[in-house]
């Protein structure tokens, strides 16, 4: 599986010492000048990943005449018209989401310029970077994954949509949108030129986008088949069918497990996943109730929590125990048999009548 080239979007410099025909002007991407934001930085970066815009000049202005000369305009101009390649979202009439433009998609967050460019060109961009066809199921899977876990956040923040209905418990100020914002000139800087900062912003958000794509393609997606195999073999591990053993540790399994349970019509919810850590020892981890919660379907026994080594082995009656976390979401044992027994004893106590 090939590595992704991070900055293939950079303009290529060519020189010719022989006279030749007059060259057509490079394509132009228009966006607004002044203070910049994460959404148009990502929109411009994504456009430059397309062959037709890879050498494009970026024009940052609010001058309608200059914008009218651009081949594509994002985040300015008060117009959304994909036929004319105009992708603004600030006009009062605009209320599009991924769902409204692609009804088979569930996301209903109002789109920013980044989301608009992703909706219309995302599949083509991913296919080009991965060397696949747009119709490939992997492209469809990663298109959804990257929108939900990267682009939608940028859409929401730019449109002022809160993540929570109530007051958050703590401040998040290190997300990519915030970090792009800090690249703007300070209010008291003598030099208020934003061009250099905008280039840094494109590099920052673009680098993260391609890093995330690389991770999902080379790490997250290959883990799916491991989890699927483990689900199919679950009754070979334990008659309950509630314990999985992964063939290889360290892989991202939670989202795949929760999705595949439904797709494979698993009747009894899975409770534990066993895998090896980097030292070759075994972990028994509880399956969470959902993807974005710390609550587990069945934590390890309460009396084990916070104990380690011999104290834990004596209390549990299971040799070679290493630890159980104070919350009960994970435990460790030096052997596969020991980790499996920790899961089985927890299941057995759950099954006992009160």
**pLDDT tens digits, residue range 194-238?**
999 999 999 999 999 999 999 999 999 999 999 999 999 999 999
Same domain, 52 and 148: yes
Q: How many domains does the chain have?
A: 2
- Per-residue model confidence (pLDDT) at position 4: 54
Same domain, 280 and 206: no
| Full residue range of the structural domain in which residue 278 is found | 238-351
Q: Which tokens hold the place of 294?
A: 């710390």
Residue 267 CA from chain centroid, whole number: 29
Same domain, 68 and 130: yes
Same domain, 202 and 267: no
Banded model confidence at residue 292, pLDDT cuts 50, 70, 90: confident
Residue 76 pLDDT > 50? yes
Produce one character per residue of 131-149: b if its CB has 16 or more CB atoms within 10 Å, e if not: eeeeeeeebebbbebbbee
224 inside domain: no
Residue 81 pLDDT > 90? yes
Banded model confidence at residue 12, pLDDT cuts 50, 70, 90: very low
Residue 46 pLDDT > 80? yes
Same domain, 76 and 199: yes
Residue 15 pLDDT > 60? no
81 inside domain: yes
319 inside domain: yes
Same domain, 203 and 304: no
The residue written with tokens 């769902």 in the block is: 99
- Among 345, 33, 24, 28, residue whose Cα is nearest residue 185: 33
**Mind listing the pLDDT tens digit for each residue in 125-152?**
999 999 999 999 999 999 999 999 999 9
Cα distances (angstroms) measured from residue 237 to each of 170, 241, 262, 342: 42, 7, 20, 13
Q: Which tokens hold the place of 74?
A: 């994002």
Same domain, 100 and 248: no
Residue 313 pLDDT > 50? yes
Same domain, 287 and 320: yes
Same domain, 75 and 199: yes
Q: Which tokens hold the place of 306?
A: 């916070």
- Per-residue model confidence (pLDDT) at position 88: 98
Same domain, 62 and 209: yes
Q: Which tokens hold the place of 353?
A: 């009548």
Residue 7 pLDDT > 50? no
**What average pLDDT does the segment 332-346 reach?**
98
Task: Note the pTM of the prediction, 2 decimals.
Answer: 0.84
């Amino acid at each position: 599986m090939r590595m992704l080239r991070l900055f293939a979007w950079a303009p290529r410099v060519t020189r010719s010492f022989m006279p030749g025909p007059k060259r057509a002007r490079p394509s132009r991407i228009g966006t607004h000048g002044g203070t910049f934001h994460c959404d148009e930085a990502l929109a411009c970066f994504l456009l430059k990943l397309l062959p037709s815009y890879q050498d494009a000049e970026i024009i940052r202005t609010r001058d309608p005449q200059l914008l009218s000369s651009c081949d594509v305009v994002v985040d300015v101009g008060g117009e959304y018209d994909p036929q004319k390649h105009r992708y603004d979202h600030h006009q009062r009439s605009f209320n599009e989401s991924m769902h409204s433009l692609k009804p088979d998609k569930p996301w209903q967050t109002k789109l920013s310029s980044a989301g608009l460019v992703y909706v219309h060109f995302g599949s083509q961009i991913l296919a080009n970077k991965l060397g696949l066809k747009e119709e490939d199921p992997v492209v469809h899977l990663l298109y959804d994954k990257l929108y939900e876990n990267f682009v939608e956040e940028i859409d929401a923040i730019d449109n002022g949509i809160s993540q929570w209905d109530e007051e958050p418990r703590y401040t998040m100020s290190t997300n990519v949108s915030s970090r792009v914002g800090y690249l703007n000139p300070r209010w008291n800087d003598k030099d208020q030129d934003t061009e250099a900062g905008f280039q840094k912003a494109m590099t920052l958000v673009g680098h993260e986008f391609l890093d995330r794509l690389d991770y999902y393609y080379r790490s997250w997606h290959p883990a799916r088949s491991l989890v699927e195999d483990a689900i199919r073999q679950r009754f070979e591990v334990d008659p309950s069918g509630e314990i999985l053993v992964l063939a290889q540790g360290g892989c991202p399994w939670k989202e795949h497990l929760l999705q595949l349970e439904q797709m494979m019509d698993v009747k009894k919810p899975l409770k534990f996943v066993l895998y090896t850590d980097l030292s070759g020892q075994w972990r028994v981890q509880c399956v969470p109730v959902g993807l974005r919660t710390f609550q587990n379907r069945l934590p390890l026994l309460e009396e084990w929590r916070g104990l380690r080594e011999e104290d834990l082995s004596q209390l549990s009656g299971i040799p070679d125990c290493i630890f159980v976390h104070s919350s009960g979401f994970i435990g460790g044992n030096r052997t596969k048999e020991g980790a499996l027994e920790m899961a089985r004893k927890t299941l057995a106590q759950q099954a006992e009548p009160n």
